[in-house]
Structure 1
Amino acid sequence: MENIIRLLIIDDDLNDAEMMVSTLKSAGFAVRPERAEDEEELHEKLRSHTPDVVICTLNHPELSLEKVVEANQHMGRHAPIVAVATSPDLDVVDCMELGAHDMVQKNRLDHLRHVVTRAAEFQRQWRRLKTFESGLRDTERRCKTLLDSSRDAIAYVHEGMHTYANTSYLELFGYSHLDDIEGIPLMDMVSRDDQQKLKDFLRAYERNRGQDQDASDSEPLDLQIRTAGGEALAVQMEFSPATIDGEPCTQILIRNRTSNTRELEKQLNYLAQRDLITGLYNRQYFMERLQDAFSTATQGNGNASLIELRIDRFSNIRETVGVAGGDLVLGDIGKLLEEVCAEEDIVARFDGEAFAILTRQWESETLERFTQGILETISNHICDVEGRSLTCTASMGVARIDENAPDMNELLSRAQKACQQAAREGNGHRVVIYRPKEREMTQKQLDETWTARISEAIRDNRLHLLYQPVVSLHGESGERYEVFMRLLDEDGEAISPAEFMPSAERTNMAKALDRWVIDHAVQRLATQRKAGHDTIFFIKITAGSLHDPGMLPWIMERLKEHRIPAECVVFELKENTVVAYLKQAKEFAKALKSVHCQLALEDFGNGLNPFQVLNHFPADYLKVDASFTRNLPSSEENQKAMRQITDTAHSQNRLILAQQVEDANSLSILWGLGINYIQGNFLQPPSEGLEYDFSTMG
């Protein structure tokens, strides 16, 4: 899902506002900014847009924090307001008392990034809450309808008095309307001989509720009731906690004692929870218990672990003994799991040859012993299938559940990935406990990890260049390719720069990577041009190179050494990098332009006034941010933005490049908008070859 944040900025300095936008873009947001300069414009922006966060600089000559808060409320918006202080004397408490979500100092953009990220998440969760509240009200209405139509006699009682009764309950006691029993205590509807019995039961029931015990597990109570006509009936009453109109109460369910519906219901419930082949719990029941464990752990009341277990090479077993024999094997494994797991563990058959275990084992050592014990038990067991003896092994993946656990889907995904990894390594019979990925580490841990991995990759020659065609929509001659760099892990699998470049740019590794890419790309370009191809390469430059005084002379030397015309290389920088380091970027661009290299500005168009940066960085190509290309056929907002950017760029004799084009509909729209160049997997994914047929778009 696109990580879009709609921002409303109150700041009279456009450069400062652009810097805020750039900071948030570097945090991974696709920013949709608006800026208000006076009170009338503020009301108009709040009327026509739904901001996720409002940033209000406190020294604005026309818009004070009080006015912004008042306008936000007046226009019916709930957007959190982040106050930006220009003086260290301003107090965060004063701002929050006026209605601000938080306050940051203007010179602390790193703090602003964290606060706005938190405020945007707060707004997202608030919107989810409102959606859930609406859904809850709808669910309560439907439950009320089901209660009204139920054939069971059901009533709600608060402090001994009826607050609700369905038609079946009223008919049981001989009443026509709820009004007839609203003033009658429950005790008066029970025969005199059983009233003390009911009083004792209710005292114990309330005591259990007060001690946070599960009152819904209380046994049913056998009583005699009196109808309005004086008739005595033997019934069972079941009590469970409930709410009505948001108020706590007790639900009463009455069944006739002469019927055997309760025993039948128990049997049906048992069958509904069980897998017919193994006798274990089924997936639906397991998911309910997993939700309970997740809620308990995330509230700090006890950790747990989710285990996925799969029988190794089960398809071979099924081919050997048939489907029925395979089911017997599954049944055998199910019994083994029940025997080796603790009574409080939940063991279920998930699907096919997969089982799931929910256990309170969480500490690494005990979890390791527990899982290894299960694997040994399975591998030592001999399955007897119609006179044939079989043995098998299993693979296990473990995801631990604690206060920091992600959502349920991610937990299941973690256990599945770990299980798949265990099955791949050594042909199974292994356990893999899911370890936090890079994004789950602290920034320091992440940077240290990637610095070591990048250094090893450069040393071991595990960097790799790919090329993606940049194609003219209007028949321009020449072959253009963007150069991509991939890092290969120890197994030869490619790692996207999106995983390691943020760490590389926070350390000195980005400069080393830039030099490696430029050196190898220029060599490949020289070979291509010697073969008679009119080829141009787009090569990315990071912020690290802007701070390297030796980078520009080194680039000139590489071009001269390989006899590459400078105009055949387009050096590409991200818009937020240029905004953040405007002085260095300006000097870098001036030097490259002096030798006729071309420039491209990547991820263009998200700023408040994106064309302003071109006064300092004279880009030849503007690569429009990919968020405008995604969902282009269905997004009028994106089409309008692309048209405005394209028209303005063409008026300044600049070329527009649309990236990440993934479908034919987008291509036709971009052609109609006058876009100059496109690239994306629809044309060709990045590859090692330089063999794209550019004549097909001519």
Structure 2
Amino acid sequence: MSQNIETINVLFVTREPELAERLISCVRMRGRTVRAHQAADRVELEERLLSHRFHIIVLIDRGMDVGTHDVIGALQNSGRLTPVLLLTDRPEDERVADYEAGAFAAISLGPDDVAAILILKAVEFHLCCTQMHRLQSTLQAAERRHLRLLQDSPTPNACFRQGQILLANDAWREYFKIDASADLSGYGLGDFVIPEQQDTLRLLVEERAVQNDSAETRQTFRLRTAHGRKFEGDLVLTGASVDGEACTVLRVVANADKDASEQLSALDPVTGLHNRQHLIQTLEQVLAASARAELPFALIEASVDDFERIHGTLGSSSSDILLTDIGLLLEEHFPPPATVARLGNEDFGILVPSARRTELDQRLAALVRAAAARQINLDQGSTVVSLSCGAIIADDSAPTIEGLLDQAARALDGIRQAGGNGYAFQHLLSDAHARAESDQQWKARLEDAIAHQRLRLVYQPVVNLHGGDFPRFSVFMRVTGPDGEVYDPSDFLPAAERTGMAATIDRWIISHAIQALADRLKSDPRTTFFLKLTRGSLLDGSVVVWLQKFLHKRRVPASRVVVEIKEATIITNLKSAISTARGLKEMNASLCIDDFGNGLNPFHILRHVDADYIKLDGAFVRDVVSNEIIQKAIRRFTEGGHAKGKQIIVPMVEDAATLAVLFSLNVNLVQGYFVHPPSEHMDFDFTQVI
């Protein structure tokens, strides 16, 4: 077993102790020490889960009125994610519901050795998952601490990856005169130094990438602000990671003798409580310690109901007094060792290191009652408010810290939607269950965005590298949330695919894009749109029919449309892809294979679908300037495509050096932020030479 534990703690839910003893003997015969407990009914099951930690639960359902759903429910109520092995004499076709409920395995009562092997495998799987979560939390905690130091530093700092800025602190914005509301995604390395030194900085970044993260590279540059003012300063380059991927941190040092970071404050300036950062740091410690704790911990998110209206009525000063008083109330009901913090605005977080569900129920009920009965004295009179609370009980088998905060917030949202002035518990979800729930939320969000017309199209030019050509645009969609937040396709398309929303989104995009194309053709009849199709549309046998219907309705020639389908989607849905490609060819529309080049023999796909364009996977662009292997791969794809009469497109072009290499490799078409970012306006000049 990969994880070294001395004793396996097993809970048998059964009324057949003799069978349990046989299984224990089989496990011990395989060199493992077992400490076994038994629960014969629901009451004993809940009592055992509250008082002990188990590595596995074995349910023998013969003669029992306890089923898999009951065991999983009891685990969720206790805040545990423990594998459940079901031993049953029910037919296999009746066990599907057990797997859907969350059973690790459901096997027949029979050879004890098979059950013993599965017990060991389930325990090993559980321990590996727990260790993985712990390592992820540790890595993410280290990353967060580093980024917090950068963000709160008085020294200008910014993180870059592949030449593009990922994030920058306020000092960086102020130093380079970038407006606080400006989108940083359009800025690259070269925007902060004079043109003559851009290549020098790029080479410096490339050299630093092969060094240790702790190593520093320092050099003096002629810098420039967003307003064009030029001045001299030192750039210090170090390594870091954002979202688990390596990046380069640039720090500006105007005075070599002054390079220090302020220590993060742990207190909220309004309420005097701990702040969000301190709560997350404490949660990291509790999560690590929970591996050795008998009881799980609880995370609670509390919020003042209808605070926006209250703030509008009382004003900022009285609202701050109100929040301070609520903070005192929370500390009264959750004294140390609990940690109470203000998360932001009207939201508070409470971390309870050792938690029992029954005790939390009582404390939360008392808190909600006390809040509703409390007279809060303000500058002018007094007021009464109500609280909503969302709670989750968890242990070290929990998902990431962000996942815990998100699940507590979901519980809070649920009680708010029910009218507030109460509390609710969220069952601890595994990563898979959390993803399924998140998918359903995305589905509802997308349906709401469609219903309230919060979808919009943006267009990115696809430009010929070898001279003037007719206008081509790749069409993308953005989703705007009810509060103005903007989501890219990478945020919602995976969930849309899994929930069956992708085909609906495809139709919305294509119908609106064809309308926009019809308008554009009036001024330039050569314009061509690249429109993406997802797997959901590919499996819809009517895709060619409704595409042709949209084109006919708007009087748009099919020759002005190129349909993009990902290589992986074609391979895994080959029959539908062949039919769709044939239909597109018959109606005189073109086909582009997207994300091309990942298979063992990529050109083999052209034997089945006759594409006009091949768009390489954007990963090939990464390091293309310095990596000869990647250059040879792109040359091979380009020459092979040209030999078959295909045009080669390379996306994600982010700098001039990449553009020059692609030109030398005889690539036909390019797109990317360096050429032109996606925009709601089709104003790119295709007659210019790039």
Larger Rg: 1
